[in-house]
Amino acid sequence: MKAAPFDYVRANHVQHALELLSQWGGEAKLIAGGQSMVPMMAMRLARPVCLVDIDRIAELKQFKLHSDHVTLGAGVRQSTVEHSAELCKALPLVAQALHWVGHQQTRNRGTVGGSLSYADPSAELPLASLVLGANMQLESASGGVRSVLAPDFFLGPMFTALAEDECLTAIDWPIWQGAGIASSFEETAIRHGDFAMASAACQLQVDDHGKFTRLSFGVGGVDGTPLVFSDLAVQMQGQTFNEETARELAHLAASRSQPGTDIHANADYRKHLAAVLLHRVLWKAYQSACKSFRTH
């Protein structure tokens, strides 16, 4: 199948793109890397009247490291993050998630903001943004700039808090500080590079006695949006872990998901898979965090 007919306009700068979105009144869609929008158009799941190309807007491709967070322009290529030693050090979970995103060619074109904006519940970066508590910067021609935290940004499958005249321009990713920090990301797909049947992500911090000082974890691909389990994480504060505890916590969290059934897997299998993957990332990250004290 081919895309329906559409107009095409290349935006020269952010304000130009915002004015075009306002002008087209919801019938325009932004495109940067095209790794999400083009397949949807080819299957006619998306039929924009106009495509606004923001790929050559330099300000969207910039990033800056601060003491407590990283600001990534929405147009930053996924491969830019993947191959930047300083970004991988500051955001290890994002780097681990990117390993599972498509293939190298996909990441060479795909943008961080594009993956977040299209909000596929099986995509890796939305899950990482929820686990880390990323903050989305949204701009419009009329309303200026507003900030939306990840839990409030993802509203449903392929549905976000972005208004029709808004553009995601930057994302602030928190940097965890101190010793005893570790993260892990795992997923299962039919083939590497396909969207996940289920995925799991975790970032945690422990003290030198192995007690949790901070914990955040979640699953993707098993509900309308990725899920994080903040209440369960809070209950683990000051506690230690063993592998059975990790397994119990993973099963409790996965039981809250509501996966669908398709030709690849039924709902029960996806829920089981989520529990297995979540146990794996929790235990792996915990062991790594505790080991970091023994190696210093």
The total number of structural domains in the chain stands at: 3
Q: State pLDDT tens for residues 114-134.
A: 999 999 999 999 999 999 999
Q: Domain for residue 2, yes or no?
A: no
pLDDT band at 24, cuts 50/70/90? Answer: confident
Are 284 and 194 in a shared domain? yes
Picking from 118, 141, 174, the residue at the C-terminal end of a domain is 174
Question: Same structural domain for residues 75 and 150?
Answer: yes
The letter for the amino acid at 14 is V
In this prediction the pTM is 0.95
For residue 261, being part of any structural domain is answered with: yes
Q: Environment class of residue 210 by beta-carbon count within 10 Å: exposed (0-12), middle (13-18) or buried (19+)?
A: middle
Q: At CB < 8 A and 24+ separation, what contacts does 78-83 make? A: 78/33, 78/106, 78/107, 78/108, 78/110, 78/111, 78/112, 78/115, 78/125, 79/104, 79/107, 79/108, 81/112, 82/107
**Has residue 198 got a pLDDT over 90?**
yes
Q: What is the pLDDT of residue 295?
A: 67
Name the token pair of 117. Answer: 């904006």
Which of 71-80, 175-184, 258-267 is least confident?
258-267
Per-residue pLDDT tens digits for 204-238: 999 999 999 999 999 999 999 999 999 999 999 99
What pLDDT digit, counting tens, does each position of 247-277 carry? 999 999 999 999 999 888 899 999 999 999 9
In a domain, residue 217? The reply is yes
- Supply the mean pLDDT for the chain: 93
Whether residue 169 is found in the same domain as residue 194: no
Residue 230 covered by a domain: yes
1 domain-assigned: no
Give the pair of three-digit tokens for residue 87.
């970004």
Are 122 and 33 contained in the same domain? Answer: no
Query: How much is the pLDDT for 243?
Result: 95
**Last residue of one domain, picked from the residues 151, 174, 197:** 174
Whether 36 maps to a domain, the answer reads yes
Domain that includes residue 210, residue range: 181-294
Looking up residue 22, the CATH number of its domain turns out to be 3.30.43.10
The pLDDT, as a whole number, for residue 144 is 85
Pair (47, 82) in one structural domain: no
Two tokens, residue 34: 């095209």
Q: Do 149 and 167 belong together in one domain?
A: yes
| CA angle centred on 152, ends 69 and 65, rounded to 5° | 10
User: In CATH, what number is assigned to the domain containing residue 210?
Assistant: 3.30.390.50
- pLDDT reading at 296 higher than 80: no
